[in-house]
């Protein structure tokens, strides 16, 4: 298996998704929708992500990684092209708000369903081809590739938004096409499961900490993504195009820090996955709390950089814990369970954070800080209870 090609595929896929982040706030406002409408769109998309993630993982165990990955990317490409065309038409016409909202929900849901299959299948493919002792570093490499997408995507969205809010979406629709061409370079993969395997439950004791980590950490990510455009307009008092650029710079900063953390720092650290999780959640908590002090672009970028420093440790630790918890034939199921927890966050968090934002722009960030504090405490308790016998404390 060519790891570099798999990494590049994920960078392009997430990069396309992240192009949407800096323009979503201004687009919602231009269409005459409200903040909670964007929360509803992402929540419904997250529900379908949650329901489909475990199915993608199970399918990759039973049908093979490459064909499932190809199917997911093809659907992702088609969904993104339709979404870009819809926004263009909706901005040029006076459509009823309910019609705009319904179509947006449908297309964004399709985008989420097909994207869910890409990280799930990729993580399973990587895990089964990496020895247990090296999985944290391997997952950090995958995270670094995704972070490259987080750098490129928001920058594209922010810079191209100057020439039109829909132009970044058309560019983004091309990125999954490149990923599709890359996947054809991967070797064929035979199913690892000897018999059809059922999906793992989110409550499976082996996956309890990874699933909790995915839920709480993804809640923070969603909060940071959904609120940054609105925050730039309301708190920093920027116009729509400048707010889109500021949001793009913030998310690009996140991506650059994630690249450095996961490509360099995580690979240098000798911490166990659980201890890395404790450290990462604690640092990310500080980053979200710093949003109370933001009064300009530089402070916004600093806060998002500290968030990324912590989350860059959380995600590879979480994925390594999940991969180490199951045998090779269940890697897809384990990755699917973790991704389903992330999808669950996309169901419950958007409406909560946009509702809190309406009360005060900083409230969603404080809630995210509290959730990451809880994650840090839970990870430390798990570490004490499971690894004290190894003398790693």
How many of the other CB atoms lie within 10 Å of CB of 327? 9
| Torsions phi, psi for 188 (to 5 deg) | -65, 150
**Global model pTM greater than 0.85:** no
Tokens of 192: 């690892």
DSSP state of 261: I
What fold characterizes domain 3-185+207-390? Answer: Growth Hormone; Chain: A; (1.20.1250)
Dmax over CA atoms of the chain, in Å, equals 66
pLDDT in tens, the chain (393 residues): 466 678 888 889 988 888 887 787 788 888 888 767 877 787 777 778 777 877 888 888 888 888 899 999 999 999 989 998 998 888 887 788 888 888 988 998 898 889 888 988 888 888 777 776 676 677 777 777 777 787 788 778 878 888 888 888 899 889 999 988 888 877 766 665 555 555 566 666 677 888 888 899 989 988 998 888 889 988 888 887 788 788 878 877 887 888 788 777 766 777 778 888 999 999 999 999 999 999 899 999 999 999 999 998 998 888 788 777 766 666 777 777 777 787 778 778 877 888 899 899 999 999 999 999 999 999 898 877 776 544 544
With residue 318 as reference, give the H or E element that holds it: helix 297-324
Distance CA 228, CA 244 (A): 9
Cβ–Cβ < 8 Å for 161, 22: yes
Residue 246: exposed, middle, or buried by beta-carbon count in 10 A (0-12, 13-18, 19+)?
A: buried
157: nearest Cα among 144, 178, 175, 145: 175
């Amino acid at each position: 298996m060519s790891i570099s090609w798999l990494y590049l595929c994920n960078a392009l896929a997430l990069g396309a998704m992240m192009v949407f982040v800096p323009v979503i706030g201004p687009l919602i406002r231009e269409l005459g929708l409200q903040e909670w409408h964007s929360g509803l769109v992402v929540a419904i998309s997250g529900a379908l992500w949650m329901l489909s993630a475990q199915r993608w993982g199970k399918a990759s165990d039973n049908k093979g990684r490459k064909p499932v990955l190809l199917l997911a990317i093809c659907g992702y490409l088609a969904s993104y092209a339709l979404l870009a065309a819809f926004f263009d038409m909706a901005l040029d016409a006076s459509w009823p708000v309910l019609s705009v909202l319904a179509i947006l929900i449908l297309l964004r849901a399709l985008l989420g369903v097909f994207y869910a299959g890409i990280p799930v299948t990729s993580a399973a493919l990587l895990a089964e081809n990496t020895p247990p002792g090296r999985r944290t570093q391997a997952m950090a490499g995958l995270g670094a590739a995704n972070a490259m997408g987080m750098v490129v995507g928001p920058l594209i969205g922010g810079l191209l938004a100057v020439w039109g809010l829909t132009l970044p979406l058309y560019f983004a629709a091309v990125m999954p096409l490149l990923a599709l061409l890359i996947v054809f370079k991967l070797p064929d993969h035979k199913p690892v499961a000897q018999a059809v395997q059922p999906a793992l439950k989110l409550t499976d004791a082996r996956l309890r900490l990874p699933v909790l980590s995915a839920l709480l950490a993804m809640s923070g990510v969603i909060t940071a993504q959904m609120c940054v455009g609105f925050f730039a307009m309301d708190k920093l008092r920027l116009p729509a195009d400048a707010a889109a650029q500021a949001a793009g710079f913030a998310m690009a900063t996140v991506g650059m820090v994630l690249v450095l953390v996961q490509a360099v720092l995580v690979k240098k650290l000798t911490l166990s996955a659980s201890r890395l999780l404790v450290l990462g959640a604690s640092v990310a908590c500080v980053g979200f709390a710093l949003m109370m002090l933001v009064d300009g672009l530089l402070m916004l970028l600093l806060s998002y950089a500290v968030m990324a420093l912590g989350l860059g440790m959380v995600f590879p630790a979480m994925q390594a814990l999940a991969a180490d918890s199951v045998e090779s034939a269940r890697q897809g199921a384990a990755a699917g369970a973790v991704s389903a927890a992330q999808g669950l966050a996309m169901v419950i968090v958007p409406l909560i954070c946009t509702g809190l934002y309406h009360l005060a722009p900083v409230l969603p960030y404080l809630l995210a800080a509290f959730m990451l504090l809880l994650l840090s405490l839970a990870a430390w308790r798990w570490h004490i209870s499971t690894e004290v016998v190894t003398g790693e404390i």
